[in-house]
């Protein structure tokens, strides 16, 4: 699914440090997936993809909300992402565009930011408020 959506597959192999949520139908068809990496106390949302047959029913947003909850549970101060295709989509669901230069250092050092996504990709963020943390508005 990632390859067919032209999204990077590096770093998603078994044993990698990221976490994936996969939505499947009752008969086991994969409807969509999304990944989360935690870099220090910052979350990196990656690899959001919904299968063509499942598009337009809210599954993408459901996956994003679920991964936000995971990030909060892991005390992340914010979620960050890079996208070449879906900045408008993420804006609709509460993410704002931001300059790479003001992103937290651990996010800027991640493989996704340094190697996997082109410089033309749009950086976006959403502050999260988890119990015991303060949101990061950088």
Question: Is there binding between residue 35 and ligand COA (CB under 6 A)?
Answer: no
* Sign of the four-CA dihedral 43, 65, 82, 2: positive
Compute the CA torsion angle 1, 30, 53, 33 (nearest 10 deg): -60
Give residue number: closest CB to ligand COA.
Answer: 60
CB of 138 to ligand COA, least distance (A): 21
**Residue 30 lies near ligand COA (rule: CB under 6 A):** no
Q: Is 96 near ligand COA (CB under 6 A)?
A: no
C-alpha closest to that of 82 among 21, 128, 37, 33: 37
Contact by Cβ (8 Å): 46, 37: yes
69-88 footprint of ligand COA as x/- string (CB under 6 A)? ------------x-x-xx-x
Given the complex with ligand COA, which of 29 and 55 has the nearer CB atom? 55
CA distances from 76 to 4, 37, 80, 100 (A): 30, 10, 10, 19
- Assess 57 for contact with ligand COA (CB under 6 A): yes
Our finding on whether 55 is near ligand COA (CB under 6 A) is yes
Q: Which residue shows structure tokens 């949520």?
A: 21
Check binding of 110 to ligand COA (CB under 6 A): no
Residues making contact with ligand COA (CB under 6 A): 5, 7, 48-50, 55-61, 81, 83, 85-86, 88-89
């Amino acid at each position: 699914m990632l390859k067919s959506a032209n999204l990077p597959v590096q770093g998603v192999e078994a044993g990698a440090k990221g976490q994936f949520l996969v939505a499947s139908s009752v008969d086991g068809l994969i409807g969509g997936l999304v990944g989360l990496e935690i870099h220090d106390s910052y979350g990196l949302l990656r690899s959001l993809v919904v299968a063509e047959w499942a598009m337009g029913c809210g599954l993408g947003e459901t996956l994003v909300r679920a991964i936000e909850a995971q990030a909060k549970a892991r005390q992340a101060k914010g979620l960050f992402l890079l996208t070449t295709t879906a900045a408008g989509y993420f804006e609709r669901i509460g993410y704002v565009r931001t300059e790479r230069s003001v992103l937290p250092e651990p996010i800027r050092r991640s493989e996704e930011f340094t190697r996997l996504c082109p410089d033309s990709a749009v950086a976006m963020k959403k502050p999260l408020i988890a119990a015991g943390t303060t949101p990061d508005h950088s």
